[in-house]
Amino acid sequence: MKFTLSWLKTHLDTDAPLDTITDALTRIGLELEGVEDAGAPLAPFRIAHVVEAVQHPNADRLRVCTVDTGDGAPVTVVCGAPNARTGMKAVFAPPGSYIPGLDTTLKIGEIRGIQSAGMLLSYREMALGEDHTGIVDLPEDAPIGIPYPAYAGLDDPVIDISITPNRGDALAVRGVARDLAAAGIGTLRPWARPAIEGKFPSPITWRIDSPACPWVLGRTVRGVRNGPSPEWLQRRLRAIGLRPISALVDITNFFTIDLGRPLHVFDANKVRGGVLAFRSGAGETFRALNGRDYTTTADDCVIADAAGVQSLAGVMGGEATGSQLDTTDVFIECALFDPVAVALTGRRHDIISDARSRFERGIDVSLLPAALDAATAMVIELCGGEASEVAEAGAEPAWQRHATLRFERLETLGGLAVPAAEAVAALEALGFTVQSRDANQVTVAVPPWRNDVASAGSLDQAPALLPELALSAAAGRAEAEPEADLVEEVLRLRGLDAVPAVSMPAMAPVPLATYTPRQVRAATARRTLASRGMLECVTFSFVARDRAALFGDAPAALRLVNPIAADLDQMRPTPLATITPAAARNVARGLPVGALFEVGPAFSAESQEVLAAGLRHGPAPRSWDGAAQAASAMGTKADVFAVLAALGVPMDSLSVTAEAPAHYHPGRSGTVRQGPKLALAYFGELHPRVLAGLDLPGPAAAFEVRLDAIPEPKRRRKALPDLPTFQPLRRDFAFVVDAATPAETLLRAAKGAERTLITGVSLFDVYEGEGVPAGQKSLAIEVVIQPRDATMTDAAIEAVCAKIVAAVTKASGAVLRG
Amino acid sequence: MTDLETLQAETEAAIAASTTPRELDAVRVGIMGKSGRLTAMLKELGRATPDERRERGAALNRVRDVITGALDLRRVGLETAALDSRLAAERIDVTLPPPPEQSGLIHPISRTMEEMAAIFGAMGFSVGEGPDVETTWHNFSALNIPAHHPARAEMDTFYLPGTRNGHPLVLRTHTSNVQIISMLQGEPPLRVIAPGRTYRADHDATHSPMFHQCEGIAIDRGLTLGHLKGCLIDFLRAFFGISNLPVRFRASYFPFTEPSMEVDIGWNRKTGELGGGGDWLEILGSGMVHPRVLANCGVDPREWQGFAFGMGVERVAMLKYGMSDLRPFYESDARWLRHYGFNPLAPVALHEGVAP
C-alpha cells in the first residue's frame, strides 16, 4: 500500500517528522516497506531569475549570467546552455551542492577567465529525465528563491507499507491515518459526506441473483465531460504508481486508495437493457479492463447486462462498458461482496487487483451510501453533469458486533498492566464505541471497518475430539477470541516493546531429556558416521522421477501435482536417490574420492521413515604406505555395523544374507537382519546401471540403515562383566569348503560349538587357488578358548577342538585342512 | 708382582679387549667359572693355615670384587652400544605423511537444529515431529487458515495427488503441523519445538523449494506475551552468544496467533555484524496461540493459553556462521561441507557452550 505524505495529511493533522511517522507505522503493525523521497536530493536547488545573460568575452558558446537567487546580491554564473537568456526563470545550484545527474559536487570555478559561483541546471543534471537540450526554463511567475522540489511538487515522500491479510481497513489512506492518530501521531481530520440531490430516477437499476453480493448502490450522472483529471489527482496517482487515465477512472482509483472503497464506473450508454444483474457466470468470455479475456465459471459472481457479462464482481470491470473519454453519462457502482467469493474468483482467474485485495479482506460495510455520494460529488466537480437518485438492491447486512475486555486480561494475556482508562481511550481512538463499562471490564461496539475484530469466523475441529471436549473448547473460543482481539489492539498501539520480558518458569528443577529415544538414535547415527570420515549432507526430499525409479518405486501417489521443476517431481524412495547425484557432482568438480551420508526421510506410498544412508565412492587414494582402500561393499558393511553397535543393537543377534534392494550389485550386497525377519540395513556396491544412470564413476558402495526399525534398547541393568582369572588359549583351524558357502555359517558354527568356553571366533584368512581344489576355498579361523574353573588339560583342550571341527563340518560340510 | 696382581691385570686387559657380550662372558667363565682361575685359587685356600687363609682370603675377595665390577661395567657398556647401533638402524623418516584419514563432519543445518534443541531444552521444551507429507487440515485448516484465506495462496504449496482422512495432501509449508499433533496427543501443559523440513514452491537466490524451520509452542495456564518475549530473547541471546543482543517486537499478523509479532534483532546492515549497528533484521514470527487453533485441537482457551513461534533454520545458521548464500546448503559440495561442517566429537552441550 503506497501513499504520499501529503495525501496522508489530508486525513491526519500532524507536524510529526517523516521518521516519527514511519517508525510508528512499523511499530503498530503497518510495516514500512520503504520511503521514496524524490525531492530530498534536489533540496539545495532554488528558483532563480537570470537578470542578465551576455556573451562570454573569451568563448563563443558560453554566456555569462547575472543570477538573482533570492538570497542577497546577484551571483555570476558561466553557462553553456543555448537557451540561457536575459529575464528567464531557471533552477540554480549553489556551490557545494551535489548534482545527481553528473554525480559531482559543485565548486566555485573559473571558466575561461571568469569566476562562476554556481550552476543553472538541466532536467538531466537533476536526474529528472533525459532532457539536456538546455537549462530548465520555468514559467515567468515561478517564485524566486523557492526550493525547486517544493515548486515542482517533488517534496512529497511516497510511503510504502505492507498490509497484513487481516487489515482491510488499512488499505485506505484514511485507515492508516486513523491508526496513526490512535497511536498518538496527530489527530484524525473529520470527513464529511457531501449532500447529493438526485434529480431523476436512475435509468439503470440493479438486480441481485447471487449470494456473493448482499447489497449494492448505484447512481447515474448524466451530461458529464470526461477528460484528463486535474494535476493534483494525476500527481497523487502517479506518485503511487498508478497511471492516470481519465477523470472518471481516476476518481474510482482515488476512492479505492483514499477510503479503501473500490468503485466502478459504467458508460451508461453502453449498458444494454437498463438492468445490471449480479449472477453466477455461465461460461461466457468477456474482456476485462486489463485487456485480457476471461471465461467465467458458475462459481464466479459476475455483473451482466442484456448483452452479457460486463464485470467480474469485485475483481475487475469489463472493457465493453467501461467509461471512455467520450462518455457523457456514467453509472457509478458501489457494491458489497462476500470476501470469500471475491478471493476465490480472483485466485481462479489469477487476477490481482486493488479491488480484489480490498474486498477479500473486507471493506467498511456501512460506508456504501457515503462513498457513493462522495464519488458522485467528485464526478460532478471534475466533469460536471447532474446526478440521479440512488439505485439500490439488497440491503445493508447486519455488521454490528460487540466485544468485551476484562482489563486484567491485558496483563494476564498480554503481559502488560495497561490502566483501564488508557485501554478504553485507545479503543475509542480506533473507532470502537463504549457500550458499557465498570471497574473490571468494558464492552465496546466494533466499528464497521474492523472486519477482523470479533468476527464470526469458523472452527475446523479435529473430528476425533470427544464431543463434550469439542463443545467446551468451541464455547471457550467464542468467549476468548473477541477479548484477545481487543488485547491485541491495545498492545499494538501501546507498543509491544513496553511489555516486560519474563523468562520461562522452570517445569522441572533439571530439564528432562529434550529428544525422544528415536531422535537420539538419529543424532548418534549422525555422529558415528561423521566420526568414520563421512561428510553429512542435506539433500532435497524430491528428485526427478526417472532417478527415483533407479532406487525403487516411484509411485504416482508421491508425484508432486505442481513441481517447481521437472527434475524435482517425485518424493525420493531413499536418500541414496539424492546422495548419489550429489557424489557425481563432486566427481565432476574434480573430487574423485568421497564419502557422503544423510540422516533423512525416505518416502513410500504408505509412510515415511528415517534412514541413515551413505555412499563411499572412488578408487583407493594413492598413498606411500598403500594402506588406503577403494570404496567397497565391506567398507560400507563396516559403516552399518558401526552404526548398529553405536545404537546398542546386540551384535550377536544380527545375521547377514546375500540379498538387497535392486539398486545394489546383486552379487556384492547384503541385508543385515535382527532375527529372521527384521531387516535393519542394506549395504553393498551400487548396481552398475545406477552408476551409469547418474554418471558416477565406480567403484561406489552404499548403505541404508533403517533407524526407525531398530527396536528400542531395553533399559535394564547390565550384567556383571565376564572377567575370568585364567589366561585364554588361542587355536587356529583351516577348513576347506565349497566356495559358495557363506563364511558366516562356519563362524557361527564354531562359536556355537561350546558356548561357555568359546569367547571369540575370528576369520583371518580366505584363500582360493593352488593347493585348494577348484570350486572350493580355504577359511582360516582363530578360536579363543576361555578356561573357566581351572587350567585346562591337553585332553580337555583337544575335546573342545574336536567339538569345533565337528560343529563346523556339520553346519557347512567343511573339511579340516590337513 | 704377586699372582693376584697378575691375575687382576690380565683379566682387566681381557675385559677391555672383549667387544661382544659373548667374548665378555668367556672372560668371566675363564676367571670365575667352575674351572676358572680365581675359582681355582679359592679352592686352594682350604689348604692354607688359618692366618694365611685370612690374609689370602681377604686379598682374593678384593680381587673378585674388582673383577666383578669391571665385568658389569663392561657388560652395560656393550649392551648400550648394541642397542644404540640397533636403534640407529631402525630410524624412520618422521616427515612422511601419516596414513590418509579424512575426518567427517556434521552439516550446519543439523548442528543448528541441535543447538536449538539444547537451548530450548534447557527451558523445558522437548522436540516433536510430524510427517513431511501432511493433510491440508493439519497444515492449514487447524491453524485457522481456511481454504479461501490469502495466506494459503501465498504459501506456494506443493500438492500431492492423494488424500488422507478425506483431506488433500501437501508437503508441509511449515512445521506448525507439529503444534497440532502435539496438542492432539497430550493434555497441556506442553512445551514443544519442531525443527524439520518444510517445502514451498519457490526457487531463487534467497528461496529454496525445501528448507528447514524450527517452530515452537508452549501452552500452560499462565503463560503471557511477556513469557513469549522472555523465552525468545533468552533463546536469541544464548544462540548468538551475545548477552546484550538488541531484540525488537513489532505487531504483525499470522492466522494462527493473536496478538502476533515479528521479532527483529539488532545488526549492522553494512558489515553484517550482529548486535550493534542500529539496523534491524527480521528473524522470527511469533504470537499468542489463536483461540481458534486451541479450540480446533480441543483445548479450551478459557483455561489454557500460550505462545508459538517459528524461524528459518538456514537463515539463523547463515547469520551465526557467516554463510552468504542459501543454495550451497543443499548442493553437497564436499569443499563447502568441509569448510562449514562441525566436528562430530564436539556435539552441542550446554556445559561446553553453544555460542561460536
Say if residue A258 is exposed, middle or buried (CB neighbours under 10 Å; 0-12, 13-18, 19+): buried
Q: Give residues with Cβ within 8 angstroms of A96, minimum separation 6.
A: A44, A105, A106, A107
Closest CA to A358 of A289, A451, A266, A287: A451
Mark yes or no for CB contact A458/B146 under 8 Å: yes
Angstrom CA distances, A618 to A432, A628, A697, stand at 72, 11, 7
SS3 B113: helix
- Give yes or no for A473 touching B (CB within 8 A): yes
If you measure CA to CA, which chain B residue comes closest to A29?
A: B251
Which among B203, B259, B334 has the least Cβ separation from residue A591?
A: B334
Q: Which of A33, A409, A460 to mutate to test the interface with B (most CBs of B within 10 A)?
A: A460
Lowest mean pLDDT among A70-79, A673-682, B260-269, B325-334: A70-79
3-state SS, one letter per residue, for A743-763: HHHHHHHHHHCCCCCEEEEEE
Distance between B106 CA and the closest CA of chain A, angstroms: 5
Report which DSSP code applies to A100. Answer: T
Longest alpha-carbon distance in chain A: 133
In whole angstroms, what is the distance from residue A600 CA to residue A602 CA?
Answer: 7
CB proximity list for A29: less than 8 A, separation 6 or greater: A164, A167, A492, B250, B251, B252, B253
DSSP string, A38-98: TTGGGTT-EEEEEEEEEE-TT-TT-EEEEEE-SSSS-EEEEE--TT--TT-EEEEE-TT-E
Q: A461–B122: do the CB atoms touch at under 8 Å? A: no
Q: Which residue has the cell 623418516?
A: B93
Q: What pLDDT was estimated at residue A492?
A: 93
- pLDDT band at B316; cut points 50, 70, 90: very high
Partners of A504 on chain B (C-beta within 8 Å) are 123-124, 191, 218, 227, 230-231, 234
Q: How far apart are CA B248 and CA A669, in angstroms?
A: 56
Measured CA distances, B59 to B2, B4, B84, B343 (Å): 11, 8, 38, 75
Report strand pairing: A293-295 vs A402-406.
unpaired
pLDDT band at B52 (very low <50, low <70, confident <90, very high): confident
B131 contacts in chain A (CB < 8 Å) = 607-608
User: Per residue in A595-641, pLDDT tens?
Assistant: 999 999 999 988 899 999 999 999 988 888 877 789 999 999 999 99
What is the reported pTM? 0.86
Report yes or no for ipTM above 0.85.
yes
Maximum C-alpha span of chain B: 132
Indicate the helix (H) or strand (E) that contains A264. Answer: strand A264-267
Alpha-carbon distances, residue A395 vs A18, A185, A315, A364 (angstroms): 42, 37, 21, 14
Q: What is the mean pLDDT of chain B?
A: 91
A551 grid coordinates? 532406487
Q: What is the DSSP letter of A711?
A: P
Cα atoms in the 13 Å half-sphere on the side-chain side of A454: 20
Q: Which of A31, A461, A561 sits opposite B296 (nearest CB)?
A: A461
Question: What pLDDT, on a 0 to 100 scale, did the predictor assign at position B356?
Answer: 64
The letter for the amino acid at A119 is M
Predicted confidence (pLDDT) at residue B1 exceeds the cutoff of 70:
no
How buried is residue A437: exposed, middle or buried, by Cβ count under 10 Å (0-12/13-18/19+)?
A: middle
- Please say whether the dihedral angle defined by the alpha carbons of residues B107, A707, B346 and A586, taken in this order, is positive or negative: negative
Residues of A in contact with B306 (CB under 8 A): none
Q: Does A513 contact B106 at a Cβ distance shorter than 8 Å? A: no
Phi then psi for B277, rounded to 5 degrees? 105, -20
Distances in Å between the Cα of B169 and the Cα atoms of A464, A568, A649, B140, B152 are 19, 17, 36, 11, 14
Q: Which of A28, A464, A508 sits opposite B251 (nearest CB)?
A: A28
- The size of chain A, in residues, is 818
Residue B147 pairs in a beta bridge with none
Q: How far is B189 from chain A (nearest CA, A)?
A: 9
- What is the C-alpha end-to-end distance of chain A, expressed in Å? 93
Report chain B residues whose CB lies below 8 A from the CB of A534: 104
Amino acid in the structure at residue B186? G
Pairs of residues, one from chain A and one from chain B, whose beta carbons lie less than 8 Å apart: 325
Note whether A479 contacts B230, CB cutoff 8 Å: no
Rounded to whole angstroms, how far apart are CA atoms A759 and A746? 15
B333: distance to nearest CA of chain A, Å?
A: 6
- Give the residue from A471, A496, A512, A567 with the most B CB atoms within 10 Å of its CB, the best one to mutate: A496
Question: Chain A: nearest CA to B113, how far in angstroms?
Answer: 11
Is A456 an 8 Å CB contact of chain B?
A: no
- Residue type for position A242: L
Question: Coil, strand, or helix at residue A629?
Answer: coil
Measured between CB atoms, which of A477, A491, A514 is closest to B295? A477
Residues of A in contact with B259 (CB under 8 A): 414, 484, 487-488, 491-492, 496
- A800, three cell numbers: 573342545
**Taking CB atoms and an 8 Å limit, are B332 and A586 in contact across chains?**
yes
In degrees, to the nearest 5, what angle opens at C-alpha B70 toward C-alphas B67 and B73?
A: 150
What pLDDT is recorded for position A313? 92
Q: State which residue of chain A sits closest to B348, comparing Cα positions.
A: A523
Among B96, B224, B303, beta carbon nearest to A624: B96
Q: Say if the Cβ atoms of B234 and A504 lie within 8 Å.
A: yes
**Placement of cell 482457551 in the chain:** B301
Residue found under cell 554566456? A63
Q: Phi and psi (nearest 5°) for A361?
A: -90, -20
Q: Which amino acid is at A138?
A: L
Q: What is the pLDDT of residue B150?
A: 67
- What pLDDT was estimated at residue A518? 92
Note whether A719 contacts B: Cβ–Cβ < 8 A.
Answer: no
Split chain A (818 residues) into runs of 10 and give each run's mean pLDDT.
94 94 93 88 90 88 90 87 90 91 88 88 84 85 88 87 91 96 95 92 94 95 93 89 91 96 94 93 91 93 92 91 90 94 91 92 92 96 94 94 96 96 96 96 96 88 91 94 96 92 94 93 96 97 94 92 90 96 96 96 93 96 82 95 94 90 95 92 96 93 96 81 91 94 92 91 93 92 92 92 94 88
Cross-chain CB nearest to B224 (options A347, A415, A513): A415
**Among partner residues B124, B137, B161, which is closest to A557 by beta-carbon distance?**
B161
Give the number of C-alpha atoms closer than 13 A to the C-alpha of residue A19, restricted to the C-beta side: 0
Across A503-517, A594-608, B144-158, B272-286, least confident range: B144-158
The verdict on a CB contact (< 8 Å) between A564 and B120 is no
CB A95 within 8 A of CB A108: yes
- pLDDT per position as a tens digit, A296-338: 999 999 999 999 999 999 999 988 888 888 999 999 999 999 9
CA torsion through residues A21, A26, A31, A32, sign = positive
CA dihedral (A557, A561, A562, A564) positive or negative: positive
Q: Are A50 and A67 in contact (CB under 8 A)?
A: yes
CA distance A264 to A323: 9
Handedness of CA A634, A636, A640, A642 (dihedral sign): positive
pLDDT band at B32 (very low <50, low <70, confident <90, very high): confident
Q: Which residues contact A813 (CB under 8 A, 6 or more apart)?
A: A737, A738, A741
3-class DSSP state of A612: strand
Please, which residues have CB within 8 angstroms of residue B298's CB and are 6 or more apart in sequence?
A461, A462, A465, A466, A469, A470, A473, B183, B184
**A370 CB contacts (<8 Å, ≥6 apart)?**
A193
Quote the pLDDT of residue B4.
Answer: 83
Are the Cβ atoms of A466 and B123 closer than 8 angstroms?
no
